[in-house]
Structure 1
């Protein structure tokens, strides 16, 4: 169903009056209101580049909130072009009803953080149309945050401590906390959720003292601070490489900051992309500027210690729903589906990434031998073992990090942790279409997104009564019921219509989200046990 002719509507948050529009959901024609491109922080330009976000100025009169704000500077993977502006710190509010009178029941707030490897993505409805969620009577907020060097460059000291993009997310949450009641949202019932780098961001927000008290529930989808692409111990190395590539060979952090502050944004972005060659990127996945521990002692510090240390010492009593897809690894096999001759080199690069990230006390050859024996039954690395290779890629880049995040949360939080694996292979699995894996079984990275959102870039109308429509209803009920109550349930479902067992180390329950949703035990049991044995080898050598 197409949107009806929009009618203007006003909201009056403390930040200033906003003019939005009425709309209708594409799926069922339910009425809601859209307020787009709302500034939650001052534009991080000029002297504010590489700095923590500053509060946005309030405004007088009525500000139009009719179109999305600028993308942050990035390479748009969908349209294959460079886009964006440094002036990009905007959020969007979608609400099924605006407050009327003093007896109005405020709505649960769902605060979405997009993925994209900390280098791409935005909060617009290109991929994240709110239609399916809105129909469950929740308010949805989506945001932009700084990406790439602009969001995560760090000189490894207090000059540019890094994590600006994560601090943007905190600033957006603070804005929501102050203003969302004016849109009908409950500032005391905010659920943060995100996928991939957005999922890792949710994990970081759970660990950061800076975010304490800003949200009440959390959903982590296919990402965690423990994933090898989501953290670096050596941020300074790439900051120096970037500065040198642009003509500054100084190792003085203040000189580097002064130099990079004057370079045009497009030049910084182009040079950032070139730090890894296209040949390298065929074989391995690394984020050039990910989050890092900050060398700062004041209130501007988002991540004061390594996430593993924070996971064992810092507590937020927040109910958590956390999971991944069954075949995340397809994301990194796009080149392999086109040319399997690079498989052996691809395998060698992945082994080295994992070794460098967390298990560098095990030799490359030893780790390689153990992986081949466990995943491939010592068969040669060839096209014959692509299914098993997908499991290997799934675990290295996502599965192990998500599993460890869930385990640590059960130890340090008295609030429940719920686990899921999304394995449904339907007609609108978003990730499999993108990577060319439609012929493969299971669910790829990002496949669950089109069962939660309406991505307007694709024509994803589903047939009434189809399995895909049923999955959309089930997924959105799980997510929105969790936002409402802290328990992920599906109305009338035989397995999950009421509280189902939480995930603990002693009783590791999870739900398998497939055509038939079932409660299972010990997700990826043998594979996680394999990596736990590898880590024991590391411990014995320390």
Structure 2
């Protein structure tokens, strides 16, 4: 295997990502006419943000103490109160990360547990305003300050975007390390607790908090829904392209990447074993767990980040812990989660992004022969049946055939299972983002047809000049409608209001549960299961031993 292909696999196996405007100048830090200071008292001290004609912005507010030194790989601790007024007009530091092919962002700063607050100005609400807390995706790169929330704030929300520990700092595990594999989740819960204590200072309603996230961030929300530590911290949830009930066939994320029965979740032991293996070359092994941990905590951030693949090894969450006592998928299927309003969905062509990334990085076309080999790797003795259902001649290219197979088998199957689990017990609104001409805002050259790709919907809700400058008038209308739906859901628990397309609840008892298709000038119901051939995958799942990465439906997963 070439070094280039190995690097691609490492990126693709790093879990799904989501970073907006990582390379663009920070629009919120640019000089704004008629700006003035705005001071608010939080529970740890005064913060001075920036009031513009249209918004008030508070940036880089600490919600937990620095996770440095002995506190590296420890539960988040309280912020030490400060005297005077803390400047909150500029972004705080990103958590440790290295630049990737899709995000030119890097940081070596561990004192990074900060958040941003965006509100509309001047404040006109006569009562506390609903709060939306955004958990960004990826798990190895990104940060809350990369998301411009002004459009959502314009709809009458207080929007909080959060940093949390990433990669080896957020998902690390080791023998004897309390909290192994849960530090990112603990950070997010600490941020939500900060919101509960401080929302009122910004005009927000601590009793009406929506937590929203995409990809890895949405997977985290699946965990929070089942976590006893998160009870009462939020009252609605939006899960975009969440992987909480997904599994992964072999090779789905690149040649040589193994199958996983649970895409996001690992046992605590698996996480600890990975920690031992991945840090074995750092000079801390062979000392016993306690001394090894002291050694690892003393290493420079840069050394941890430059060990091959280490930044991608811990983008999972450990269950069997105090944060996640049981496998979240099992808890969700059993209905062990709060009966709160939920919005859940995915993009129509989720996996085209990953296939397109590999195509661009490796630089050679994906052939019909590779397609058949990929099917054999992923599906074993069922490969011929999958090939007959998805014959390569029916697609513009073998690459798009493979992308469709994995979209349907992995993403759509998991997304639908999650909607069914939610809809059996709570008010649930399902959607599919279906704009197949969504602008590509990630730096991928070439002419690959990405379609309605993974994370392609994010610039339709958050400000992103790189994408939105390419919007057609129909896409502008779609963006406005989607943002209105999100905001009204955060306000009331339903995306429906006069003037917006009707969006019925997802009812699993119906022959065709309602899924809202979101496309330019084409918003309305779609038969999601039929579109993604889920009956075919269900029939295969009834075969003993299929899929290779997960027990058949109806059988208890091994945890």
Q: How high is the TM-score relative to the length of structure 1?
A: 0.83
Structure 1 counterpart SS, 2:284: coil
Alignment correspondent of 1:419: 430
Alignment correspondent of 1:203: 222
Matched, 1:147 2:176: no
5 Å matches for 1:276-355? 287-296=312-321, 301-311=322-332, 312=334, 314-333=336-355, 334-336=357-359, 338-341=363-366
Matched, 1:163 2:182: yes
How far has the Cα of 1:69 moved from its partner? Answer: 0.9
Alignment correspondent of 2:519: 514
Structure 1 counterpart SS, 2:98: strand
Alignment correspondent of 1:55: 78
Change (3 A) 1:250 1:172: same
For 1:441 and 1:44, locate their aligned partners in 2 and report how far apart those are by CA, in whole Å.
39
How far has the Cα of 1:489 moved from its partner? Answer: 2.7
Structure 1 counterpart SS, 2:155: coil
For 2:40 and 2:316, locate their aligned partners in 1 and report how far apart those are by CA, in whole Å.
35
Change (3 A) 1:438 1:193: farther
How far has the Cα of 1:260 moved from its partner? Answer: 1.3
Matched, 1:34 2:57: yes
CA contact (8 A) 1:503 1:510 kept: no
For 1:274 and 1:207, locate their aligned partners in 2 and report how far apart those are by CA, in whole Å.
30
Structure 1 counterpart SS, 2:206: strand
Alignment correspondent of 2:157: 138
Alignment correspondent of 1:19: 48
Alignment correspondent of 1:366: 381
| Cα deviation 1:379-436 (Å, max 9, x = unaligned) | 69x973333222123235532222222222223x2x2111000011346353xx5445
5 Å matches for 1:134-283? 134-155=153-174, 159-227=178-246, 228=248, 229-233=263-267, 234-250=270-286, 252-271=288-307, 273-274=308-309
Alignment correspondent of 1:28: none
Change (3 A) 1:22 1:212: same
How far has the Cα of 1:85 moved from its partner? Answer: 1.4
How far has the Cα of 1:446 moved from its partner? Answer: 1.1
CA contact (8 A) 2:219 2:264 kept: yes
Aligned pairs, number: 495
| Cα deviation 1:73-117 (Å, max 9, x = unaligned) | 1123355464241111000000114779xx93111111001112x
How far has the Cα of 1:347 moved from its partner? Answer: 7.3
For 1:231 and 1:435, locate their aligned partners in 2 and report how far apart those are by CA, in whole Å.
29
5 Å matches for 1:387-426? 387-411=400-424, 413=425, 415-426=426-437
For 1:343 and 1:206, locate their aligned partners in 2 and report how far apart those are by CA, in whole Å.
42
CA contact (8 A) 2:49 2:89 kept: yes
For 1:76 and 1:239, locate their aligned partners in 2 and report how far apart those are by CA, in whole Å.
22
| Cα deviation 1:7-45 (Å, max 9, x = unaligned) | 111112223211001135xxxxxx110000000000100
Change (3 A) 1:98 1:295: farther
How far has the Cα of 1:200 moved from its partner? Answer: 0.9
How far has the Cα of 1:520 moved from its partner? Answer: 2.6
Pairing partner for 1:119 from 140, 148, 168: 140
CA contact (8 A) 2:320 2:327 kept: no
For 2:422 and 2:136, locate their aligned partners in 1 and report how far apart those are by CA, in whole Å.
22
Pairing partner for 1:477 from 475, 484, 492: 484
Alignment correspondent of 1:75: 98
For 1:295 and 1:436, locate their aligned partners in 2 and report how far apart those are by CA, in whole Å.
43
Unaligned runs of 5+ in 1: 25-30, 277-286, 356-363
Alignment correspondent of 2:457: 448
Unaligned runs of 5+ in 2: 1-26, 249-262, 546-550
Pairing partner for 1:488 from 495, 513, 518: 495
Change (3 A) 1:247 1:345: farther
